[in-house]
Structure 1
Amino acid sequence: QNVKAVASLGNFPYYLVSNNPKVKTIADFTEKDRIAVPAVGVSVQSRFLQYAAAKQWGDKEFNRLDKYTIAVPHPDATAALIAGGTELTGHFSNPPFQDQALANPNVHVVLNTYDLLGPNSPTVLFATEKFRSENPKTYKAFVEALAEAANFAQKDKGAAADTYIRVTKAKIDREALLKIIDNPQFEFTVTPKNTYPLAEFLYRVGAIKNKPQSWKDYFFQDTTPLQGS
């Protein structure tokens, strides 16, 4: 298939949050705790948790916390964490769910992915080489539109919020949405940041077979090459 990444979908910190006051760091989770993730072991949140575990206990212990993770959709996990009273005491999600959870005074941040890797691109757009080569006009138009949209959102957060609400018909309050996207750590951009440390880690622990020599090995380089990492 020769699947490669096309562009970053933005650089945003992901938070592992908890409603257990005893859990200050990932080392404080016990068998009594459960951490909600989108998919156990393979979601980007699970990989970040494994990266953090490897940093804490060494590569051989990278999956040490996997036994505490369960697959729960973000909306359900957020509701459970806010309500409390269940075994689910942790949730590794992304905006806006982490922000909704943190609005509850009983919920706190245990891990910020920016503390692990610095500003990074947790999600990327990808395509097959076949699609890219057979649909050059569509591919080019999409990539250019994505870059234009990212630039628009980065320069005018208010207009971006208005556009989002109008197009998606989301029920979210405009001020609440602005509060989320106006986070100075948020960067709307197609430029990937700090993807390589995670790629290199995945090779070290056997999740991928071939070691990339740089981030350019798994990103398409188009007419206007990305300047990433």
Structure 2
Amino acid sequence: MTRHFARISAFAAVLAIGLSAPALAEVSTVRIAKQFGISYLPLTVMEEEKLFEKHAKEEGLDIKVEWLRFTGGSGMNEALLSGNLDLAAGGVGPMLTIWGKTQKNIKVKGVAALNAMPLFLVTVNPAVSSLKDFTSGDKIALPTVKTSIQAITLQMAAEKEFGPGQQNKLDPLTVSMGHPDAQLAMMGGRSEITAHFGSSPFQELELKDRRAKKVLDSYDVLGGPHTFNLVWASTKFVDENPKVMKAFVAALEDSVQRIKSDPAAAAALWIKAENSKMAVADAEQIIRAPENDWTTTPKKMMSYLDYMNRAGYVAGKAKDWRDLFFNLIPNASGS
């Protein structure tokens, strides 16, 4: 009887300690990855103005933010899966790919969009005016073959141009290459790269050269504005760090509002942060362009997912864009 009572007392003591102990602290260091281009401006403003740290302090957290740089989404996804990255930022293609692959384990989902921006397929080959003009002598540079948003959009365009079942017709011409290197390769004229499916500001800079011309606009392919870049994370990280995530989304919204309210300041900040040789006026023009929407609201995510389902890239189905995202932007009217 005494031994039994002792066991109960010991258990009660352990339980009491467990109930009175403080909850596990949220992470003190957050690792965020982004890629190249002015499309990551909301994150650049967040980094330079230390908005994440500011909003974290408002949540009672003192965090350190590590900013990492990748040239494509596949590398970020590998880092996320291996536990070496907390928040990834990239195109729709890589996000939907990892979303589809992880729904039975770490369940990666979107956090928020960064923008809606058109992507241009630019060429310096005078013989090319449409997708039908590309030949085996051309090479199209894009961030990552098969999975980048540029690669997926090119397939969707090929399907429209050449007919059902022909979505991969131009795939043999594509080459994985970061935007800065792709721009240099195509405009240098000494490589096999004759076209670049890029993003801002690379596409605008390329089109300033009289040799370059736009072959394709992603808005035409999708039938209107679509999300270009967004942020994603694992369910484990989001669930274990609610205050961190609340601070991140608040910082992102803060950044977006700063960009909209003062495009000139945002342009100057980006030029300095990226050590870019681009004129501040040109950067401001891109930021102000009516087709470029700085927003956390996802657009046409389902259009991309529907194609990736049909193409066999993503097995997971979603009924609504909200199935692809955490409930961190509840008032957004996405698609």
Please classify the TM superposition score into its range, dividing by the shorter chain length. over 0.9
Q: Does 1:145 align with 2:251?
A: yes
Once the two structures are superposed, residues 160-199 of structure 1 have per-residue CA deviations (whole angstroms, 9 ceiling, x without a partner) of 1133235445443212211222222111110111111111
Counterpart Cα distance in 2 of 1:88 and 1:227: 40
Which position in structure 1 is the counterpart of 2:310? 204
TM-score scaled by length of structure 2: 0.65
| Greater shift in the superposed pair: 139-148 or 52-61 | 52-61
Q: Paired residue for 1:73, among 160, 166, 178?
A: 178
Give the alignment of 1:209-228 within 5 angstroms. 209-222=315-328, 224-228=330-334
The answer to whether the 8 A contact 1:59-1:205 is kept is no
Say which SS state the counterpart of residue 60 (structure 1) adopts: coil
Structure-2 change in CA distance of 1:171 and 1:32 (3 Å): closer
Choose between structure 1 and 2 for higher RCO, CA contacts under 8 A separated by at least 6 residues.
1
Q: Which runs of 5+ in 1 are unaligned?
A: none
The answer to whether the 8 A contact 2:112-2:329 is kept is no
Which position in structure 1 is the counterpart of 2:130? 25
Q: Paired residue for 1:5, among 101, 104, 110?
A: 110
| Greater shift in the superposed pair: 159-168 or 135-144 | 159-168
The answer to whether the 8 A contact 2:263-2:288 is kept is yes
Structure-2 change in CA distance of 1:21 and 1:175 (3 Å): same
Structure-2 change in CA distance of 1:9 and 1:86 (3 Å): same
Q: Paired residue for 1:160, among 241, 263, 266?
A: 266
Which is higher, the Rg of structure 1 or of structure 2? 2
The answer to whether the 8 A contact 1:154-1:187 is kept is no
Q: Which runs of 5+ in 2 are unaligned?
A: 1-105
Which position in structure 2 is the counterpart of 1:15? 120
Aligned-residue RMSD, C-alpha: 1.6
Counterpart Cα distance in 2 of 1:76 and 1:197: 30
Which position in structure 2 is the counterpart of 1:129? 235
Counterpart Cα distance in 2 of 1:165 and 1:75: 15
Structure-2 change in CA distance of 1:89 and 1:165 (3 Å): closer
| Greater shift in the superposed pair: 216-225 or 115-124 | 216-225
Counterpart Cα distance in 2 of 1:145 and 1:119: 24
**Superposed displacement of residue 90, structure 1:** 0.7
- Identical counterparts, % of pairs: 38
